[in-house]
Amino acid sequence: MQRRVKLLVGLAFGLCAAAAAAETMKVTYPQTRRTDLVEQQFGQAVADPYRWLENDVRTDQEVAGWVTRENAVTQDYLGSLGQRAWFGQRIKALMDYERFGLPHKAGKFYFYTRNSGLQNQAQLFVRSGLGGAPRLLIDPNLWAKDGATALDGWEPSKSGKLLAYAVQDGGTDWRIIRLLDSETGKVLPDEIKWAKFSGISWIGDTGFVYSRFPVPASGQAFQQLNKNQEVRFHRIGTPQSADELVYATPDKPDLGHGAEVTHDGRWMVITSTQGTDSRNAVHLIRLGGRKANTDKWAAKTLVAELENDWRLIEGMGDTLYFMTNQGAPRLKVVRVNVAATNPQFTDIVPERAETLERARIVGNRLILSYLKDAASTAETMSLDGKPVAHIALNAIGTASGFTGEPGDPETFYSFTSFNQPSAIYRYDAATGHSTPFAQPKLTFDPANYVIEQSFYPSKDGTKIPLFLVRRKDVAAVNKPVPTLLYGYGGFDISLTPGFSATRMAWLEAGGAFAMANLRGGGEYGKAWHDAGRLNNKQNVFDDFIAAGEFLIAQGITPKGGLAVQGGSNGGLLIGAVVNQRPDLFAAANAQVGVMDMLRFDRFTAGRYWVDDYGYPSKEADWKVLRAYSPYHNIRSGVAYPALLVTTADTDDRVVPGHSFKYTAALQAADPRGKPHLIRIETRAGHGAGKPTDKVVAEGADVLAFLAQWTGLTVPGV
């Protein structure tokens, strides 16, 4: 214990010394052209001097030049940080373990992904029978020299003899769907382009349905708004031009559509949405055994209005099972006989105090996953809703998977936590027993890390859950240490415990990691989501600010030792709270954030986000957005914390112009303060499909920057 106290006293001294040294590391920013653009919006003058930075870096040479200059300054600064190499080595070592994806059974075949450790992309393997020899089917590491072309979604046909798989290049949301023969590994000539936000659902072995958008205008593929999504059927061996239109709503171009086929091939279920909100319409197409290319796709309405969440669980004959929040904000399970003259939904598993996350039918059982205070529980029930058994998880963490079909003897699920990489388990549907399928071999002991959960009051008194992770020796001494606080708070998305090699490197260095389950997420169902969106969005920022104040008040972190991080909607969160409470945070990392809240709906998928943010074209919504928009609320003469913005030149989800404009404005407002830098990755997109070497490099840069400004020092570095 005496050694631990000395170590932590040294850490506190290092915090002061590092912060003092950091003050001397001044940055000279590149010149950014500023225009006099001012627009009148709802009676207010709104300046947008950096709008030219919205232009596509691929086609605008001025924007490309700005990116090059900013990256040069950022890399020069990051290269001067002594702990950068250590963090890079530790993140790389912590990622160097064999990891598997969930197996998917089709016919006699079992498909699953595997990464040997440091491969840029996971490979796809297949086995004939569960105990069969693994056979490499797809190796995306051979697709691009920079490792940035990824295998995204994949789906075997009913028999497993064919496999449709989606290719993601350079991080874009666009997908190219290709086919191969599972037995020979031969790639078929079929190629599907302009798929986006699409599943793949097979009709037997003859073909599959998918979702696509019209071909974008020339040069606009990465910025044009996504409208008029269609469901199409592709028959194997035919060109994409012959794909049949299954479902579209040209009179309602804002609607998006996805299709699923029940396991018995009897029904196609089409779910339509208008934005990101959990409000769906549902239409059905009777398939039976008819030939898909000769009959018209006649859809009948099951749910007409976009009012509630409807998620297909499975179909058995004419009985369909759904999860829904209709009259059940934390969701329930219902079933319906769709062959009836007037189909009526019947409750099978009513709403309970926990939030229902997912449900599947495997064998002759329902498998239900719930969130209890943002951690997973799982159980089985009969098909009429009678409890059968709990599935033991034995730790605070996240369980996912449980996929399968009626009649299957088994399912697979993964379990992970802050101190445990994902392990895969086989669950026997008949016995209820779980056995390991693939467990990682670790280079650290999970028992050396302590996971705690607290509930702290937000500004209005609402209790907010917060996970805290520390090394056991750090927690035992219980002295303030540099802390990284993470949040999201939006779009009905729940933050749950999960492993990250980057976070583990921060913990190994002696820091603490905290994750706040802010309002706006889905941890407690619809009411929790509603409390953090639209004109309630300020609650999210208040919740996060209160989390920072709580960590300081509880002695977890010192006043000058708090770093904050968030991505996408969480990047917006970071931009907003840094503007509102610059005094609270020592350092911040805003990742691929939505920073201009008055123009977010004009690019790619931005139009979907109005469900959470509101419409910039409506005065009442505009006033709310204007009040917290990160880009529009930067003030001159304010001492902002050290801030590293991270984005990618190929991000077509949250276009990088958001981060470009925000960074330019912050550098201009506080030119002689702490560093406000932007790191712009190439061919990395919004995050999905990012190769391992880019993950390691970015993680090392971010942690070294945050450590420098919170005083986290690695012994011996």
**Closest listed residue to residue 5, CA positions, set 448, 477, 472, 450:** 477
Q: Which of 234, 529, 658, 686 is catalytic?
A: 686
Instruction: Assess whether 529 carries a catalytic annotation.
Output: no
**What pLDDT was estimated at residue 685?**
86
The domain 2-93+455-710 belongs to what CATH superfamily? Alpha/Beta hydrolase fold, catalytic domain (3.40.50.1820)
404-440 in b/e form (b: 16+ CB < 10 A) is: bbbebebbbbbbbbbbbbbbbbbbebeeeebeebbeb
Q: Is 207 in contact with 234 (CB distance < 8 Å)? A: yes
DSSP 371-385: EETTEEEEEEEETTS
DSSP per-residue string spanning 5-31 = HHHHHHHHHHHHHHHHHHHT----PPP
User: Which pLDDT tens digit goes with each residue over 217-248?
Assistant: 988 888 888 999 999 999 999 999 999 999 99
pLDDT tens-digit series, residues 619-636 = 999 999 999 999 999 999
Secondary structure element (H or E) that encloses residue 691, with its range: none
CATH number assigned to the domain with residue range 101-350, chosen from the 4 options 1.10.220.10, 2.130.10.120, 3.40.50.12280, 3.40.640.10: 2.130.10.120
What is the pTM assigned to this prediction? 0.93
Element (H, E) at 257: strand 256-261
Please check whether the two domains, 2-93+455-710 and 101-350, share a CATH topology: no
**pLDDT at 445 exceeding the cut of 60:** yes
Cα dihedral 205, 210, 569, 311 in deg (nearest 10): -70
Please report, for residues 228, 321, 428, the alpha-carbon distance to residue 362 in angstroms, rounded to integers and kept in the order given.
35, 13, 10
The mean pLDDT value for 338-361 works out to 96
Closest CA to 273 of 302, 250, 244, 307: 307
62 token code pair: 């001025």
**DSSP reduced 3-state for 601:** helix
Instruction: Please compute the mean of the pLDDT values over residues 297-305 and round it to a whole number.
Output: 96
Chain-wide mean pLDDT for the chain? 93
pLDDT at 382: 95
Residue 70's H or E segment, with its range, is: helix 61-79
Task: Give catalytic status of residue 568 as yes or no.
Answer: yes
The residue written with tokens 């001044």 in the block is 26
Give the residue from 238, 341, 248 showing the smallest Cα distance to 292.
238
Q: What is the pLDDT of residues 149-200, one digit of tens each?
A: 999 999 999 999 999 999 999 999 999 999 999 999 999 999 999 999 999 9
Q: What is the DSSP string of 280-325?
A: EEEEEEE-TT--TTTS---EEEEEEEEEE-EEEEEEETTEEEEEE-
- Helices (DSSP H) in 589-691: which residue ranges? 610-613, 619-628, 657-669
> With 70 as the cut, is the pLDDT of residue 79 above it?
yes
State the pLDDT at residue 282. 98
Six-digit token pair at 682?
Answer: 């190439």
Residues 6+ apart with CB under 8 A from 540: 487, 489, 490, 518, 519, 520, 532, 573
Residue from 400, 434, 568, 629 carrying the catalytic annotation: 568
CB atoms within 10 A of CB 228: 17
Contacts of residue 223, Cβ cutoff 8 Å, sequence gap at least 6: 56, 603, 604, 652, 655
* d(C-alpha 536, C-alpha 519), whole Å: 9
For the chain, what are the domain ranges?
2-93+455-710, 101-350, 353-442
For residue 341, what pLDDT band results from cuts at 50, 70 and 90?
very high
22-36, 467-481, 530-544, 585-599: segment of lowest average pLDDT: 22-36
- Bigger pLDDT: 254 or 717? 254
pLDDT value for 716: 73
| Residue 355 contacts residue 369 (beta carbons within 8 Å) | no
- What are the tens digits of pLDDT across the range 6-33? 333 334 334 444 444 445 468 999 999 9
| Nearest alpha-carbon partner for 662 in 678, 673, 649 | 678
Task: Tell me if residue 214 falls in helix, strand or coil.
Answer: coil
Q: Exposed, middle or buried by CB within 10 Å (0-12, 13-18, 19+), for 125?
A: buried
pLDDT score at 591:
98
Q: What's the confidence (pLDDT) of residue 495?
A: 97
Give yes or no for residue 299 having a pLDDT over 70.
yes
Three-class SS state of 604 = helix
The pair phi, psi for residue 342, each rounded to 5°, is -130, 85
Cα separation, 305 vs 174, in Å, equals 29
Predicted local confidence at residue 295, as pLDDT: 56
Confidence band, pLDDT 50/70/90 cuts, at residue 292? very low
Work out the percent of the chain whose per-residue pLDDT is above 70.
Answer: 96
DSSP label of 631: G
Which residues have C-beta within 8 Å of that of residue 95, sequence separation ≥ 6? Answer: 117, 118, 501, 692, 695, 696
Looking at residue 20, what is its pLDDT? 44
**Residue 674: φ, ψ to 5°:** -65, 160
- Residue 25 has what pLDDT? 67
Mean pLDDT of 484-488: 98
Report which of residues 291 and 97 the model is more confident about. Answer: 97
For residue 314, the cross-strand partners are 321
Report the distance separating Cα 359 and Cα 367, nearest Å: 6
pLDDT-derived band at 638 (thresholds 50, 70, 90) equals: very high
